[in-house]
């Protein structure tokens, strides 16, 4: 099983900045856990993600996880936002079926 859907959405301020650079900039766009993993693996500066305000709701078969995050590069906040995972409990443990996150500069 793999992550089936990974979407990113810019908040209004971040989207306005992106549209100023490129009028065709999209507010919601697909993302890739593989590209994210490659970025982390090949980063030339230290990368850290801090999670807080974590909330989990589950019935034992499915779960929803929600948290706020700060993404730091070289000790400085690069972006922040909120993230949501939809999860299922498979035969071999919990699996993320979809992930959504917001981005704010």
What digits encode the pLDDT tens for the residues 84-100? 999 999 999 999 999 99
Question: Are 25 and 16 a contacting pair, CB within 8 Å?
Answer: no
Domains along the chain? 5-103 (3.10.450.50)
State pLDDT tens for residues 47-74. 999 999 999 999 999 999 999 999 999 9
Task: Compute the average pLDDT of residues 8-18.
Answer: 92
Q: Is the pTM of this model over 0.75?
A: yes
Least confident span in 8-17, 32-41, 46-55, 70-79: 32-41
30, 72, 85 from 56: Cα distances, Å: 24, 24, 10
pLDDT of residue 103: 87
Q: Indicate the helix (H) or strand (E) that contains 86.
A: strand 76-90
The set of residues, in sequence order, having a beta carbon less than 8 Å from that of 101 and lying 6+ positions away, is 7, 8, 9, 31, 69, 81, 82, 83, 84
Q: Indicate the helix (H) or strand (E) that contains 21.
A: helix 12-21
């Amino acid at each position: 099983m793999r992550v089936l859907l990974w979407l990113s959405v810019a908040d209004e301020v971040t989207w306005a900045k992106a549209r100023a650079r490129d009028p065709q900039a999209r507010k919601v766009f697909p993302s890739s856990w593989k590209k994210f993993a490659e970025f982390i693996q090949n980063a030339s500066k230290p990368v850290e993600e801090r999670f807080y305000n974590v909330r989990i709701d589950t019935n034992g078969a499915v779960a929803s996880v929600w948290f706020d995050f700060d993404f730091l590069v070289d000790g400085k906040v690069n972006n922040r936002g909120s993230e949501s995972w939809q999860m299922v409990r498979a035969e071999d443990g919990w699996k993320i079926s979809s992930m959504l996150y917001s981005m704010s500069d």
